[in-house]
Structure 1
Amino acid sequence: MKQNKFNIKLVLALGSCFLGLFVNAQQLETLIDEALANNPEIQKFELQYKRVSEKVNEVNTIPNTEFGVGYFISEPETRTGAQRFKVSVKQMLPWFGTITSRENYVSALADAKYEDIVIAKRKLMASVSQSYYNLYANKAKQEVLSENIKLLETYETLALTSVEVGKASAVDVLRLQMRQNEMQQLKDVLSQQFLAEQTNLNNFLNRENDVAVTMVDSLMMPSEHFEINTENLALHPELLKYEKLYQSIEQSELLNQKESSPMIGFGLDYINVSERPDMNFSDNGKDIVMPMVSVSIPIFNKKYKSQTKQNELKQQEILSQKQERLNSLETLLDKAIKERISARISHNTAIKNIKQAKDAEQILIKSYETGRIDFNDVLDIQELQLKFQISEIESVKTYYLQSTIINYLIL
């Protein structure tokens, strides 16, 4: 079981390669550590594992010792005297190795339950990371909107000046103002969405909803693709759990075979005998002590044969479930890899478009200096520039979100 333990520090170290630009900001690794320490779902699985592990002590027992006391109301008379009362004790013992088989079976169940902890931790790390990246993207979009609002304010000043000299219409000013209002609305909506996502992240960490989460200033698209070893998918804890369950069924069958064996019992009967007053001989009033040995044989053993058949079917079912889950994980991994590549393509295109939009903006500014400016073109260029900036932010977010999925699957 220890060989299959999840090396959280390794995953955090590998995941932090995407976050080398943190300066005076809360580290994602710190958030993940806090979540792993405080998340109630993780604590739930850990308690379940401890509970199942404790069952080893429960099964490490033998059947109850039987005691019996009987009093002869009508004392039977024997040659050595009348029998007065009887005391008996009996202990049944399971077949050799049965208790060990029970312990092995429960330990196998505990090993399978431990994988639930590993899976839950991986999922929690992915959820915290994804929430963090969503917050980053939200914050970046708000900053872009603020920059574009300021840009429109500059254009509005130019438009007012043009109106005064008769080179623009008041309608142009109103259009610029309406566009500012629209962008301010988008920013306000994003602000509320940020608070909602912040609450979501804080809940992962099991802390107050309004605790502020500080973000990195910027996330850069990595310059190179990270090599992905898809063979590691076969070691994913969701698949290892099926292997542990399969092994637990093997232990269950071994236990079933042991329990179908006879049970041996040892006992002792003691009978108190009264002395005969009218006779004098050596065994007069001698008590009776009778050791006993008994055997419990499961002659009608259909129960155990049925259990063997059920175990065989369970193993086949587990193998099918494992293959089904493997297919799903392979699909998820392939999709994440392809979408991360697509995010890089979208990012490169957005960067080119942003540069060209800024070039067009400079041309408009120079047109104003020569006395000619079309504020419809201003709005068109501004709208395109905002679209490309949002696209660049979304592509970066998508890249890191897909990287989180890849990390969940193969690290």
Structure 2
Amino acid sequence: MNIQKQYISICFYLFLLIAIPITGLGQSELGDYLEEAAENNPGLKSKFNDYLAALERAPQVKALPDPQLAFAYFIKPIETRMGPQEFKFSASQMFPWFGTLKAKENSAIQAAKAKYEAFEEAKVKLFHEVRTTYYNLYFNKKAIAISLENIEILQSFRKVSEIKLEAGLVSALDGYRIEIEMGDLENQLALLKDKQFVLEVVFHNLLNSESKKEIWLPKELWRTDLALSKEAILDSIQSNNHQLLSLSFQQEALSFKKEVARKAGNPNINIGFDYIVTGKGDMNLAGTNAFVFPKIGLTIPLYRNKYKALVKEVVYLEKAKALEQDNKSNILESLFEKGWKDYCDGERRIHLFHSQLELARKALRLLETNYATGNKNFEEILRMERKVLKYNLELEKAKADKQAAISFISYLMGN
């Protein structure tokens, strides 16, 4: 049993070595988290064991039916010329029609391949969830840092306003406005910290990590792009998506199952022998044991409607599976278009908010200078400070959204 468990574990980790995507510089930590999730996630292990269980189906269905042994004892011995028959041994073996067992084996093998694709689908979906949660963690941590930075900016504004208030240059209204802004920011900061805790719990559960160690996050999120064109990605999805591959193997399994159904209408062959033991006959002569060999029998499939229905059932299942495959293909194309839109939108937003942030920072510095040296409208400073905060957050959100879109498209491609 221990050897079998070790074999299963070795098989599982060999699959995972192939499964872990290679990460570039700055992404190795995320790659380590993906590896940890693949090794520990119980949902993924469950799918892998489903696959191993399906592999054990083929040896079962390709085996011959168990031979039959029978023993009969004659309560009242049957008198024959050779002596009274006392008891009888019988043995027989049923042989399905030619090619039936091979068709059953092929059907089971294709079904096991479908289970493997279900395991692969669970793996890439898990990787996508880990990556997406990681990007959300990055953005939330950045949002906390940006909020703290803006609170510090408001505190510096408050010092300036207090100096100007003491000099009689402004009213207490500027101080009230700062307190209102700081209250809003502190409330937002508290919410972000609560959200960070929830995201960390989700991330550790995806990894099934017992030690809730600190999650490493980059200071700046990497800027990667999709390596393939839109048309190439669509082709890759149609060829490599694990849901489609699983449906394809299920279709092939049904094809062999239809062959089994057709062969079920053919006779089965039964070969056996009887061994009869006889006792002493008249004149106290020893009886003679008699062999009856061979004994050949056939099952006669008279009720043809049953076998026709078996074939029709599989034909309908094949049609249903083909339609399901077409429907899944359409759904995946729609999902890709949404993911592609998110990817393009993320790229546009990165350029937009980077430019907007730079302009807002320049405007804020000018307003700060004017306010410190004169008596300019303080409300305009607060409005521009809110824009700086907004564009800063939107820029980081756009970075995370773009990488999440890349992750989703990679998931659709089976990566």
How high is the TM-score relative to the length of structure 2? 0.90
Given the alignment, which residue of 231, 235, 243 partners 1:231?
A: 235
Q: Does 1:240 align with 2:249?
A: no
Task: Give the unaligned 5+ runs of structure 1.
Answer: none
What is the CA-CA distance between 1:219 and the residue it aligns to?
1.4
Give the conservation status (yes or no) of the 8 Å contact 1:95–1:258. Answer: yes
Distance 2:142 2:125 in 1: 26
Letter in 2 for 1:300: Y
Give the conservation status (yes or no) of the 8 Å contact 1:95–1:263. Answer: yes
The count of corresponding residues between Structure 1 and Structure 2 is 396
Given the alignment, which residue of 157, 166, 186 partners 2:159?
A: 157
Change (3 A) 1:338 1:279: closer
Change (3 A) 1:114 1:164: same
Counterpart in the other structure of 2:358: 355
Q: 1:217 is paired with a residue of what secondary structure? A: coil
What is the CA-CA distance between 1:257 and the residue it aligns to?
2.5
Distance 1:332 1:380 in 2: 39
Deviations 1:269-322 (A, max 9, x none): 222223334387xxx632222122111121213222111111111111111111
Q: Does 1:315 align with 2:318?
A: yes
Hey, which bits of structure 1, 4+ residues long, moved more than 6 A?
Answer: 5-8
Distance 2:299 2:149 in 1: 86
Given the alignment, which residue of 274, 278, 293 partners 2:279?
A: 274
Give the conservation status (yes or no) of the 8 Å contact 1:82–1:275. Answer: yes
Give the conservation status (yes or no) of the 8 Å contact 2:16–2:38. Answer: no
Give me the identity figure in percent: 25
Deviations 1:144-172 (A, max 9, x none): 11111111111111000000101111221
What is the CA-CA distance between 1:206 and the residue it aligns to?
0.6
What is the CA-CA distance between 1:381 and the residue it aligns to?
1.0
Counterpart in the other structure of 1:91: 93
Of the structure 1 ranges 308-317 and 156-165, higher mean CA displacement relative to structure 2 is found in 308-317
Distance 1:114 1:136 in 2: 33
Counterpart in the other structure of 1:326: 329
Distance 1:240 1:305 in 2: 30
Counterpart in the other structure of 1:145: 147
Task: Give the unaligned 5+ runs of structure 2.
Answer: 1-13
Give the conservation status (yes or no) of the 8 Å contact 1:199–1:209. Answer: no
What is the CA-CA distance between 1:331 and the residue it aligns to?
0.9
Counterpart in the other structure of 2:184: 182
What is the CA-CA distance between 1:83 and the residue it aligns to?
2.2
Distance 1:9 1:49 in 2: 17
Distance 1:181 1:375 in 2: 17
Distance 1:11 1:80 in 2: 78
Counterpart in the other structure of 1:43: 45
Given the alignment, which residue of 105, 114, 132 partners 2:116?
A: 114
* Aligned positions of 1:244-393 closer than 5 A: 244-278=249-283, 285-291=287-293, 292-393=295-396
Distance 2:104 2:228 in 1: 45
Distance 1:194 1:394 in 2: 15
Distance 1:101 1:149 in 2: 72
What is the CA-CA distance between 1:208 and the residue it aligns to?
3.4
Counterpart in the other structure of 2:3: none
Distance 1:279 1:328 in 2: 87
Letter in 2 for 1:315: E
Deviations 1:35-80 (A, max 9, x none): 0111111100111111111112222322232222222232232222
